[in-house]
Amino acid sequence: MYEANVERIRTSLHGRIRQIEGQVPKTHYSRISVATLKDFDKEIKESMGILADLYSGFISGCNGLSFDEKQEFLGAVNESLIAESQAVVGLLGKAERLSGRTDDLPLVAKAHDRLADRARTMALVTEYLHGKARTPKNDKENQDGSQNDSDQNDS
């Protein structure tokens, strides 16, 4: 969904993107040499914990969101985001346990970097969904005609 609608999502979140993406760890551990990676073991574990908290936040933040009939596609995206986040939380738990093993650290670093990149995307999509979900404020804006773009054709 994000890849197909990058411009629309980023435009709607203009001015807040840096703040939203700033919650996600930025260090790319997979770029660090294998020899020095073991020195970052504790930092990787902490970063994995931050990512797990973010993904758990995506789950709780998206549970209960509702969309009107014209935005059925966004409802499907919301459910998909929740399911993916639940799976990733489990993977992060396993990766965090493996990070203590020096042999597995390069794989954990790669997994961390990919999941952090995905978390940046999911954070933006989550914020976008919150803006489009049915709430009293959003319903009033829709009635006033101030939001006249339909997300039914976002696919």
Tokens at residue 96, please? 């965090």
- Indicate whether 150 belongs to any domain: no
Looking at residue 44, its amino acid is I
- Indicate whether 127 belongs to any domain: yes
Output the pTM of the full model.
0.80
Tokens at residue 9, please? 């999502």
**Number of structural domains found in the chain:** 1
Q: What span, in angstroms and rounded, lies between the C-alpha atoms of 76 and 124?
A: 16
- Indicate whether 93 belongs to any domain: yes
- Indicate whether 28 belongs to any domain: no
User: How does pLDDT run across 67-77, given as a tens digit for each residue?
Assistant: 988 888 899 99
Cβ-based neighbours of 138, under 8 Å, separated by 6 or more? 131, 132, 147
Residue 113 has pLDDT above 60, yes or no: yes
User: How does pLDDT run across 1-56, given as a tens digit for each residue?
Assistant: 667 778 888 899 989 999 999 999 999 999 999 889 989 988 998 999 999 999 99
Please give the residue range of the domain that contains residue 112: 3-11+41-136
Per-residue pLDDT band at 136 (split at 50, 70, 90): low
- Indicate whether 151 belongs to any domain: no
- Indicate whether 36 belongs to any domain: no
- Indicate whether 145 belongs to any domain: no
Question: How high is the pLDDT of residue 8?
Answer: 85
